[in-house]
């Protein structure tokens, strides 16, 4: 069995943002040489997500509005997280959007469904954060 591990680094200039990281995952898959297997893609930070959905800007706006309703950033005083920390909402947004995805690899390609794309979701940005890509297979 082959295995391949690589990290992707991001520095989202705003507090929140969604990045389509499918091309980077495809590049890592090509470098791995794996034809049949699985790829795990996970955020390595507790205020960021990796998820799969549509690359459609209206939907991403809708996510932003929905997440702000579920866990508003302001007022920070509504949260007890670590006293002075201002990112309790980011932890909650991360929880609902998920930590990781697993995608099948078939004939050397990501075996995604129609319109499926892999995203990095940032909820407490303006600093360097990373995503782990781990590939196993033959």
Binding footprint of Zn ion on the chain (CB under 5 A):
85, 87
Identity of the residue, 36 or 85, whose beta carbon is nearer to Zn ion in the bound complex? 85
State how far the alpha carbon of 9 is from the alpha carbons of 17, 71, 73, in Å.
Answer: 14, 26, 24
Q: Which is nearer to Zn ion, 24 or 87 (CB)?
A: 87
Minimum distance from residue 87 beta carbon to Zn ion (Å): 4
Per residue, the 3-state secondary structure of 83-126, as one string, reads CCCCCHHHHHHHHHHCCEEEEEEECCEECCCCCCEEEEEECCCC
Rounded to a whole number of angstroms, the minimum distance from the CB of residue 30 to Zn ion is: 36
Q: Shortest Cβ distance from residue 132 to Zn ion (Å)?
A: 20
Q: Which is nearer to Zn ion, 60 or 81 (CB)?
A: 81
């Amino acid at each position: 069995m082959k295995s391949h591990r690589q990290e992707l680094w991001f520095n989202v200039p705003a507090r929140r943002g969604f990045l389509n990281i499918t091309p980077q995952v495809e590049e890592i898959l090509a470098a791995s040489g794996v034809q049949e297997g699985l790829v795990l893609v996970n955020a390595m930070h507790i205020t960021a997500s990796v998820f799969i959905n549509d690359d459609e800007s209206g939907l991403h706006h809708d996510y932003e509005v929905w997440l702000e309703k579920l866990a508003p950033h302001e007022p920070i005083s509504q949260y007890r997280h670590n006293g002075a920390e201002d990112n309790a909402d980011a932890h909650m947004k991360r929880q609902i959007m998920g930590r990781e995805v697993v995608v099948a690899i078939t004939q050397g390609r990501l075996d995604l469904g129609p319109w499926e794309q892999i995203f990095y979701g940032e909820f407490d940005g303006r600093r360097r954060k990373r995503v782990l890509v781990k590939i196993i297979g033959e």
